[in-house]
């Protein structure tokens, strides 16, 4: 597969992961704050995939690699919060977030429906939560971006440099 093809395929993987997240959301699995954080790097990777169609250079591949490593890291962190390996943000793992609500807010069914805890697994497959699957699949996509970047760095002709002209 060409370098451009690798980058576009990796970006399409982000489209699928983001689409899956929106599908689960439409089925009633509301995202927590950390789930939303994990979506932003996928959006960056998708934008870089569009750029790669027109300009397939190593900085684009580096950006895609870093974006996917970022969302994978967030997914691993989120997994640790879900498994109680470490404390998550108090805004979505308990603590001060409910303390900031008034008594009327606490009694309102509307507010309760909006509170989604980051330390609770809402859906799992094969013992892994959505955050865990995002981490695993994002690492795989980061590898695809990294392969594209390494190919570009090893082959200067793929960088778009002009061939030397011999005069003589």
The predicted-structure confidence for 135-146, as pLDDT tens digits, reads as follows 999 999 999 999
For residue 63, the tally of other CB atoms under 10 A from its CB is 19
Q: What is the pLDDT of residue 55?
A: 92
What phi-psi label fits residue 124: left (phi over 0), alpha (psi between -120 and 50 degrees) or beta?
Answer: beta
98/1 Cα distance (integer angstroms): 51
Cα–Cα distances (Å) from 125 to 39, 53, 140, in that order, read 20, 34, 18
**pLDDT, tens digit (0-9, with 9 covering 90-100), for 104-129:** 655 665 554 556 888 788 887 898 89
**pLDDT, tens digit (0-9, with 9 covering 90-100), for 64-81:** 999 999 999 999 999 999
Q: Where are the domains of the chain?
A: 3-159
The answer to whether 53 and 4 have CB atoms below 8 angstroms apart is yes
38/25 Cα distance (integer angstroms): 14
**pLDDT, tens digit (0-9, with 9 covering 90-100), for 14-27:** 999 999 999 999 99
The answer to whether 44 and 67 have CB atoms below 8 angstroms apart is yes
**pLDDT, tens digit (0-9, with 9 covering 90-100), for 23-63:** 999 998 889 989 999 999 999 999 999 999 999 999 999 99
Residue 13 CB-density burial (10 A; 0-12 exposed, 13-18 middle, 19+ buried): buried
CATH code of the domain occupying 3-159: 1.20.1550
Minimal CA–CA distance to 17: which of 53, 74, 68?
68
Cα–Cα distances (Å) from 13 to 6, 19, 111, 141, 156, in that order, read 10, 10, 34, 7, 27
Minimal CA–CA distance to 48: which of 149, 128, 137, 127?
149
């Amino acid at each position: 597969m060409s370098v451009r093809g690798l980058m576009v395929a990796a970006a399409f993987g982000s489209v699928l992961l983001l689409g899956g997240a929106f599908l689960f959301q439409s089925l009633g699995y509301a995202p927590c704050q950390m789930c939303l954080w994990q979506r932003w790097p996928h959006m960056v990777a998708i934008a870089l995939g569009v750029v790669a169609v027109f300009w397939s250079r190593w900085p684009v591949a580096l950006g895609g690699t870093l974006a996917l490593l970022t969302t994978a890291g967030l997914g691993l962190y989120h997994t640790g919060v879900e498994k109680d390996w470490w404390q998550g943000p108090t805004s979505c793992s308990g603590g001060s977030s409910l303390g900031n609500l008034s008594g009327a807010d606490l009694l309102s069914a509307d507010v309760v429906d909006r509170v989604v805890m980051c330390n609770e697994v809402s859906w799992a497959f094969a013992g892994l939560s959505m955050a865990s699957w995002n981490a695993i699949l994002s690492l795989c996509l980061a590898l695809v971006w990294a392969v594209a970047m390494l190919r570009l760095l090893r082959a200067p002709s793929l960088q778009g440099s002009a061939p030397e002209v011999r005069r003589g």
